[in-house]
Amino acid sequence: MAKVRKAVITAAGRGTRQYPASTAVQKEMFPLVDRDGLTKPVIQIIGEECIESGIEEICIITQPGEEKQYREYFRRMTDLESRSFRGKDWAILESEKLGSFGERVHFAEQHSPEGFGHAVYQAKAFVGDEPFLLLLGDHIYVSDLKERCARQVIRVFEQYMLDAASAVQPTLEKLLHLFGVIKGDPIDANKGIYRAGLIHEKPKPEYAREHLATPGLPAGNYLAHFGMHVFSPRIFDSLEYLFKNNLREKGEFQLTAAQEHLRQQTDKYWAVTCAGQRYDTGIPYGLMETQLALALNGVHRTEICEAIARILAMQVKS
């Protein structure tokens, strides 16, 4: 069984949907209060999803020149800095965790914005001949179980010795313009495990009805990408196929096209339904929704519920 011990996080997007804040702070470094009550940048929360799922090494795909700001953050306090935190043992502990995190992190640059698939390919040297977890740099996950969302997918990949496992979630037809979609052939539908059939990026409803329906799902529901995958290194062969034949969509090399190419080469490409929720911090509404979800699942849940009730009461009065 090939253990998944590496992860790749793509963080080379320009953050245009979060302008103007993204001109001052990279969107992956936007702060949020996590479930443990500590304020962290988005990328750290995603990284902890990896580490708590058994990942040992992480590669962050960045724009050129952005490695420095990550390095400056993921480090231990200096002796001078620690003087400001005397008596605050929690801060010293967090400093140690940041330093440990930094020791796990590697970087690769995407020198030209040629699509998600192109960004993932930059991690080829880091991945080597091992399987890897792939996450987006602006998506945060809240599991419905004690087991992290990433761990749910990794577990299936390792148990069944797959070439690929994509996390999916049943999604309404009206939302398919936001996601890649996988047609699933049930392997164990009770556990949410399917063999991947056709994979298509942001299909129109008519196309989805004809080609992407999954047996057993309610009418109008499809298996849409959840934003995390586990791949064997074979995904890089499929990406190279796109590059060699210049197979672009809207001028870019898309990961979904490489997924479909890989699926055609193996019967070990599966889709796994995740028990949890995904939140997109890359858009203003999504950032607000993410913070609310973290708060309602965290140590300050009671206070937040009371605050929401108070705010709503004030809105009713006004």
What is the spatial distance between Cα 183 and Cα 201, in angstroms, rounded to a whole number?
12
> Residue 297 to residues 42, 60, 174, 226, 306: CA-CA distances in angstroms?
16, 27, 28, 19, 14
10-residue averages of pLDDT along the chain (318 residues): 92 90 92 97 97 98 94 94 90 94 96 96 98 97 97 97 97 95 95 96 96 95 97 98 96 97 97 96 96 97 96 87
The answer to whether 221 and 233 are in contact (CB under 8 A) is: no
Task: Look at residue 1 in the predicted model and tell me its pLDDT.
Answer: 57
Domain edges within the chain: 6-317
Are the C-beta atoms of 295 and 38 separated by less than 8 Å?
no
At the top level of CATH, the class of 6-317 is alpha beta
CA distance linking residue 239 with residue 247, whole number of Å: 10
For residue 286, the number of C-alpha atoms closer than 13 Å in the C-beta half-sphere is 16
Could you tell me which of 272, 121, 114 has the C-alpha nearest to residue 190? 272
